[in-house]
């Protein structure tokens, strides 16, 4: 909390300006180690000032700069949406035009670029380079926007996105790791940035199959987006180093960033996390009306809560390469936090009772 600023946003360090990325990091850290109550961190977040800080960064085209006088960046849009959803400050006013802006960042390859580039005429041009990190941020952002923009996935080319994403996994000779861009080398961090899209893409394709959309595109779909055991192999046998920590690739030193992303990708490859209708039904039945009528009537509020908290681990579908001693906890595909951490923080700020993290009613 020492890095919280008078504006409501968080800075990356002492004497620095508030910025969307450290704001996301700070709130996620508080989801893990914080709690309600005095000095627990959660009550000390000034959500009113934070909301105003977010609005101050909004641009006319619906996007956001990452800080005052900063650049527009897909990562910033994602970080803002994560924090706004976790803390119950997501509103139509905040996200107006953002879905259309994100969709305009999809490139001819199918992945997403860091930002939208405007032509001299003022029209939006799909001129950026598809990148694993920006694509994950774009896809997760569209899921987070869905409670307020129900038809959001009609704005993008899903078959092209799936085709691009599956092409990012390396061959067996490359250890079956992921690259972040076409014709680049594999890198352990993309186990999360690309591999972490697996639950999201799987859910979207299954939706299309259920509704009969694009039948020819999905007729040979076997419900496997990536080679999950290949991801585990790269992480455990290639990215992991003997002295501890994980790395980009052989020849590179381990570091905190690559350790975190490798392990998040490993979690996604080991566990099958799905949107559970059972969990959604239980949560909807337990929904408590807010004491403030204005809060309760806010568009999309309950749906934002349900859409994030309905994700659950499909028990019995896990696969641990090398045995259960290699197990790590499952992560939420939208936040890169444990499902329990997401539900506890959102339960607090939305005034709801969390349910357990696996599929099935909370008995």
- Interior CA angle at 98 toward 72 and 50, to 5°? 70
46 belongs to the catalytic site: no
Do 40 and 34 touch, CB atoms closer than 8 A? yes
**Among 58, 248, 309, 335, the one annotated catalytic:** 248
**Among 79, 105, 116, 189, the one annotated catalytic:** 189
258 belongs to the catalytic site: yes
**Among 67, 82, 179, 187, the one annotated catalytic:** 187
187 belongs to the catalytic site: yes
35 belongs to the catalytic site: no
**Among 19, 58, 75, 181, the one annotated catalytic:** 181
- Measured CA to CA, the distance from residue 210 to residue 268 in angstroms comes to 24
Q: Which of 138, 62, 51 is nearest to 334 (CA)?
A: 138
CA distances (Å), origin 237, targets 15, 177, 185, 191, 243:
41, 11, 17, 13, 13
- Measured CA to CA, the distance from residue 38 to residue 295 in angstroms comes to 24
**Among 131, 202, 247, 298, the one annotated catalytic:** 131
**Among 184, 284, 286, 288, the one annotated catalytic:** 184
Torsion of the alpha carbons at 342, 149, 126 and 113, rounded to the nearest 10:
0
The half-sphere exposure of 142 on its side-chain side, counting CA atoms within 13 A, is 25
- Measured CA to CA, the distance from residue 357 to residue 363 in angstroms comes to 12
222 belongs to the catalytic site: no
297 belongs to the catalytic site: no
**Among 24, 134, 190, 234, the one annotated catalytic:** 190
190 belongs to the catalytic site: yes
**Among 19, 75, 179, 258, the one annotated catalytic:** 258
Q: Which of 186, 187, 169 is nearest to 269 (CA)?
A: 169
DSSP state of 44: T
- Interior CA angle at 142 toward 44 and 155, to 5°? 155
189 belongs to the catalytic site: yes
**Among 52, 118, 213, 255, the one annotated catalytic:** 255
Active site residues: 131, 181, 184, 187, 189-190, 248, 255, 258
């Amino acid at each position: 909390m020492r890095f919280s600023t008078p504006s409501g946003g968080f800075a990356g360090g002492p004497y620095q300006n508030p910025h969307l990325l450290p704001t996301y990091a700070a709130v996620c850290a508080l989801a893990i180690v914080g709690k309600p109550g005095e000095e627990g961190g959660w009550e000390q977040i000034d959500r009113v000032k934070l909301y105003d800080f977010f609005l101050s960064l909004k641009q006319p085209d619906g996007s956001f700069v990452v800080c005052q006088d900063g650049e527009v960046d897909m990562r910033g849009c994602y970080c803002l949406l994560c924090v706004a959803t976790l803390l119950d400050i997501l509103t139509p006013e905040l996200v107006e035009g953002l879905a259309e802006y994100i969709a305009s960042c999809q490139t001819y390859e199918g992945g997403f670029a860091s930002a939208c580039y405007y032509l001299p005429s003022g029209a939006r041009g799909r001129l950026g380079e598809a990148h694993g990190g920006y694509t994950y941020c774009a896809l997760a952002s569209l899921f987070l926007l869905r409670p307020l923009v129900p038809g959001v996935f009609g704005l993008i080319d899903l078959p092209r996105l799936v085709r691009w994403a599956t092409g990012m996994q390396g061959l067996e000779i490359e250890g079956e790791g992921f690259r972040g861009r076409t014709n680049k080398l594999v890198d352990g961090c993309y186990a999360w940035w690309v591999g972490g899209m697996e639950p999201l893409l799987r859910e979207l394709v299954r939706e299309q199959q259920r509704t009969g959309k694009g039948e020819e595109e999905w007729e040979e779909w076997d419900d496997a987006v990536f080679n999950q055991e290949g991801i585990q192999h790269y992480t455990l046998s290639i990215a992991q180093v003997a002295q501890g920590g994980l790395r980009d690739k052989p020849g590179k030193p381990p570091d905190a960033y690559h350790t975190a992303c490798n392990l998040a990708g490993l979690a996604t490859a080991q566990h099958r996390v799905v949107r559970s209708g059972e969990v959604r039904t239980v949560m909807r039945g337990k929904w408590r009306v807010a004491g403030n009528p204005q809060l309760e009537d806010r568009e999309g509020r309950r749906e934002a809560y349900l859409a994030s908290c309905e994700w659950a681990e499909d028990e019995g579908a896990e696969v641990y390469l090398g045995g259960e001693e290699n197990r790590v906890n499952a992560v939420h595909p939208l936040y890169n936090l444990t499902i329990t951490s997401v539900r506890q923080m959102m339960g607090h700020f939305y005034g709801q009772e969390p349910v357990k993290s696996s599929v099935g009613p909370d008995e």
